[in-house]
Structure 1
Amino acid sequence: MLNDRMGIHSRANSTVNRNGEARPSSASRSSPLQPTNPPSSGNTEKGKLGGIFTGMSSSKNTPLNDKTAFSVTPIPTANTVSNPSQGGIKGSDILKFSEDNFDVELYVRGMLQHLPNEEAIQQLYHSLADAKDLAATDLQCNVYRNYNDFVVISKEISKLESDMLYLRELLTDLKDVQDNLRPVSDPENDTELVQMADDSLASPEQKRAAMAEALAKQRVREEELIESREAQMKLLYTNIDGLQKILPESKQRYLVRDGSKTHYWEVSTTTFKQKDMVHLYLFNDTLVQVSWKKSIITGKARMFAEIAWGLSEIGFIDMKDSPDVSNAFKIVRHPDASIYRTETLEEKRAILASIKRITDDILVQRRKEKDQVKNAAISKANTMTALLPNSNMDQYKNISDQLPVKDNLSATDYRWLLELPDELDVLVAHRDFDNSVANLEKARKILSGVDIKTPRVQMLRASVENRIEILAKLVTSDLASPVSTKSQVQENIDRLLRLGLGDQARDIFLTARTKTIRHRTRHLKFDGDVAAYMCDLAEVTFRLIRNTCDWYGGSFRDTTMASGFMKWVTLEIVYFTDILRRQVFNSRQSFSVIADCLSSALDQCQQLRDVGLDLGFLIDQIVFGDIEKAIENHSKSLEELVIQAIECDTYESLEPRIDFFEERGLVFDAEIPRMSESAYQLFTILTDFASDVGALMSMTLYNKIVASLSALFEVYVIYTSAALQKDFSNKQICVVLSNITFVVEQMLPKVKIQLEEQFERVIPELDEDCIRHKASLEKVKTVFVESSCSNLIKNDYNFSKVDYSNTAAILETTLPTEPILKLSVGLNKLLMNMDATLDCVLLVGRVIQLLFDKMVNTSAGWETEKGPRKFGFGGVQSLLLDIHFMLRVAETYITEDANKNANSVCEMALRAYFVQNKDLSVPLKTGEWYDKRVDEAVRKFGKNLALLTTGNTMSLNAKAKQSSS
């Protein structure tokens, strides 16, 4: 059992390296068990790695021997003893655990021979366990202590490759510069032309013919080559999607190497895992990566151009084969890099050779172009010199001698400026931006004092501007960080201002603040409550704008920068208002929600007043049109409700609902009439409109609110007046008249007074509405009179159909005819149906006047198909009695015109009687007889004609009681 335990612990403390060799165990690397005097034969070079790779050297480098003396630090446990017989562990035994040929069973067997009892065995076991724990703890501490250094070294190693590639690119540029300085001979000579020129036997004519033929053949070959290249390029543009976009057509471009037959695999630069298969097409100036992709429409795979590199912008590195990747090469365009591998080594060599040949041709072509430019300049200078006369030449030389050829840059400044780029690179690498900016300011100051632009001054200025651009990119990157504090932002802005990049600093800062506002607002939770969401949105937006104002004012003190900031604030408020419009107005929210949202926005906008920005008017201007449109839409919906209420109204007379108006805080000075349901619904609609729009009541909305109220009254009056055209009874007609009269004479003036109190001004628009609607009311009264008269003629008394042709003598007890009695009862009912608030005397008087007028002017009352209407002795006296009875019972309502028309009826009837009857021996009754018969009729039928006979405008309650009795 003990052997098994010892074996387990010893195996747990031993490890194996990548090559299968045993590494020192954790126990041998732990500080409590390390020898204090390491042997001199150990590898001292590996000891220099000290703190990072502590204890990682192999035991082979420091061979151990039982005879070697060690000073071993004892294990700090209670069970540790110095004698093996007592169960302790010697330092040499600890170091044996890391040997390659360590045998656990042999070691345990040897130890047990020196242990006298079970207690010593237990001590040995506990000592080994404690050694294991301490070694593990110490190893863990070493790992934690060295982890940061390990991370730093790993990052430096990863950057080393990119820096080496960048260095290679610089060396390549240096080589190009050196090559351009060397003279290059032009090797272009045609072999056939040389042979013909060297032929001494050929005549001049033969030489010229041969040269012409050779030149013609050469032109043909060139034309064929150009046509072939153009056809090749057209085919590529057709077969490869996206090639036209990343590689526009050019007559100078042609295909050098077709990559469709060679497969390359893109390899990850970090894990060296193989990714997608691609094709590489090599042109004379560009390298294009092409891959296969399936079309979404057809589902077929097509070639798609992904990346295009200019050959002058990239570098190629032939990578050595490794266990991770083989047949690979790297394409570098600082700071990016891509790795590709081929199936065979020959394919890799072929494409690298093609690329090298093309790049060499590019360099040669560049040298030719530079030489041509230089030769052209020299030729032009020689030509100008030859054309100048001698006197001008001397003058030119004198002027050229007087021109300064040196700048006033001191040697110290020049040396400092030359070393400045390297110093700036170090400062930037350590992110010491303040010293970098200070050095650049100093460099600019030195260069600004140099008046002559010599080549070295131009070179130094270009170098300084380049470093300014690099530093500005880093500073702007920090400035755009959303987690920067106020002090960090102001420091970065100050650096950019010192570099002369104020506009760029402002734009970067404001763009970053815009992104921050968008980020914060996107995190707001919308749970369906629009008012709560807009309140949170306004709070976040305007608080961040306010903070931005503080930061901006502390960073940009130049007043010329204020206009750009105001433009930014305006755009942010416009963006917020657009969200407000979408959330509130586009979703047709209620006016209470609109008022809450606008109130929240304007309240939060007040924060900007503290920094001198009062931009609440901007929100009002933007949403003004939406509010007007919302009021207009709401008004139209209410108009539809008014029309619906009128169409559904049966015009049944209802008792006055005084409590209905009192509950809504409205008290009328005059008595409330009996009306139908539509009038009460109109008042409810007006109340709802006032409560909805009341929260938005302002002078800017004065016209829209007044116009909406005016439209509601207009709709009610027009549609209610049109209802009189229907076949209504006199009772319904009276209700219609009561509705319109109450709305025009009481409700509209009351609304006008309330609006004047709200707006604190006179509202002439509603005054005009009152005048216009009163005119409409008069028209309604006219329609009421005509309708009532028509109903009375139709139902009670039709003069043309009453028989007054009786020729017999009239009895002394004769009473008015039944039609005239029915007419009187009808007029009395009309008065009962009319509300006391109406001008009953005037209206009924106009009805009676119209009745007599129709009796006089209606031809049907006096002419029949057989001729003039017949009036007999008894009939004409009955007509006179009827007229006298009507004038007596309706005396209160008889107007002067009505009395004239009544007399005209009597005169016309008597004239017809006298014309038609020759025997006039019996005289007609006198006026005294008519008065007696009328008095008798009144006494007999007076109870049913109380309102008509008394002419008293009774209250509605009294009329109701009389109607029920």
Structure 2
Amino acid sequence: MADILVKKLTADDFDAEKYVQSLSHSSVGGLELQQQRQRVLQLSKETSALLKKNVYNNYMQFIETAKEISQLESEMYQLSHLITDQKSILSMMLEVTISGDKGPGSGLSGVQEAVQEFEDPQEARLRQQRENRKKLSALLENIEGCSHVLEEPERWLVYEGDLVELSQDDYSGQQRVRACLLNDSFMLATWLADRRGPVRYRFETLHLLDALVPVNVKDRGQATNAFKLLIFPDARAFQAPSPKIKSEWLEHLERTKKDRVAAQQKQPTAEHRAPVANPDSENPFLKQQDSVGSRDSQDDDETNPFSWWSSSSAPPQSQVPQTPEWMQELPEDLDQAIAQRNFEDALTLIQRAREYFTQAPKTLVNAEMKRGVETRVKTLVSVVRAELAASGERSLNAGPKAARRAVNILLQLNKQQMACELFLKYRTAILKSALQRLRLEGDTEVYIRHLCAVYFRNLNDTLNEFNKVFASCKSCLPALVVWAGDSMNSFASKFCQHVFSTQSSLTTVSECVSLADHYCKQASKTGLDLRFALHASMSRDLERRVASARDQMLDAIKLRAQDESWQPTKFTDERQLQTFMEEMNDIGVAGLNEYLTDALVLGLTSSVLELVRVMVAFVEDVLRLLVVWPDAQQLLADSLTAVLEAQLHQCKAAVQHPMLKDKTSIVCLNSLFVVDVLLPLTEQRYTEVTGFAHPTLRTLARYRQLFATSADSHTSGFV
């Protein structure tokens, strides 16, 4: 059976709506639908278990693969370092002759040595930067996961060392870190205590110097030689090994930031500066050096197998595009917009920045700026989430449109799932607050009327607002269905607590259930039918309440039979008789004039008349429940049969009782009234409400022959 169900659900042409319709048509009653639902749920659980198992297996493979990739990356760094060393050795061998002297053109002549003494400071600085970049490459070989740091060609190492990161609360030591100050950024790597080998650190983060401010920290307790780095929106504190190293860190940070700012200011002017004559062209010594060097370099290129590596690794001569001014001011503008709760302006800036990043080159500067924008996106999301947090009367009394602004912001930030979840939580808080304000005033039916009005009004507002806000997010509809089911369960729990936990009559119960079902039908016009959830929540209580009412009716019949004196009902005057007849007509019992034995005497006993009143009310209550609760048709129909059969059984016992032979005529008259009037009236009302005949009431007509025979024999014997 399970295999057949799996084949149906996994078929290419499977249609969920058609499948549900076929189940509804082929199933008889709610029990079979429940069984089908259990099968689907069981299959869902099995599928979920298989998916979890596969995800776990894939995750383990992913972890193993990540370890292998990390190990491979470490080996690649080591190979790169070896290749660099070999290249240096080969270059030195090419410059040295067999006797140990430098070959022609490879060494520096006296003129060149004189030129080197007057070397341009710019050339010296470039040479120092190249050396620092080599140091950075060697340093990064000991740090795991930092290959992207070397992607920027104009980056080199300024200062580095081990630090201890401190807690912001009590300045206690947290972890050992490796700090690297670069010319444009600040890198941190965490210490791997359990790692053996050359790679002893793992890359943690890389901060641009533009977003970093060093701050000195006074010594306090054990926190000595500490300094802070203000990195928006947080701050991090570090402890240096000694006061000297601390001062060196602060000095290098300040100087590097100043050099960074100066370089950024000079770069735009250098681009627009007109080309000037090369001063080196007037130096005859450099001309000679260039001519000799060019021949040597040409020979070296032909014989050096690593010439392609040298040329490819040279930094590009073209300048990196400058960041627009509005982009540099974007973080401050975003912070200001978020602080002033101008969410729309903040959203516009974020969208503009994202468009810029899609077209801008993928440099480290842009990557860091993008990371800063995404950090502010998270801040914006957290602030918007606070808008939807239903805390305080202001939010709860703002109406269904109050959350629309915040939800729209989240939707435009591609946070559909979060927006849906927060919106539904917000509506849940509003519903809970509205239900808590209800007071139990008056009878149960009045309270249930107010309860249904409050709940279903909130439900309709939620559905309408959801359809407006999430009209383009069809993936959020399942969350709405789940929320509606949960809210219906909460409503049904409160409903059952006040309807079934009290000593309410069956009439009150049927009225309340019918009222809740009516509101459910009205809510289904919006496209969400919750009647099944309502019936499932109260079915057990309804069964227990109907069975209790049936048992009370049976006990009352037994008590009336014990106290029955079989005396006709006498009226004091014509007015009282007329009032009684009108009362019987109102409840559907007509034609009682046939049972008058005298002007003011009715041949029916008081217990039978009481049975008529109670039975008619019981029938109406049962039929009202049957309309709302068709799954309980068998229980309700059997209850009607049981009550009438108990009354007829008592009539049969009275007819056959030897001590009531002198009252056989009135006993038979009342018994025939139950069979000829009350029984057909019950069948008629059942057929009118349900549209089909009662399955078992007609079998009770067999008592008529007994009562008629007894009446005839008594009449003939009397004659």
TM-score, structure 2 as length reference: 0.49
Q: Which has the larger radius of gyration?
A: 1
Which structure has the higher relative contact order (CA within 8 Å, separation 6+)? 2
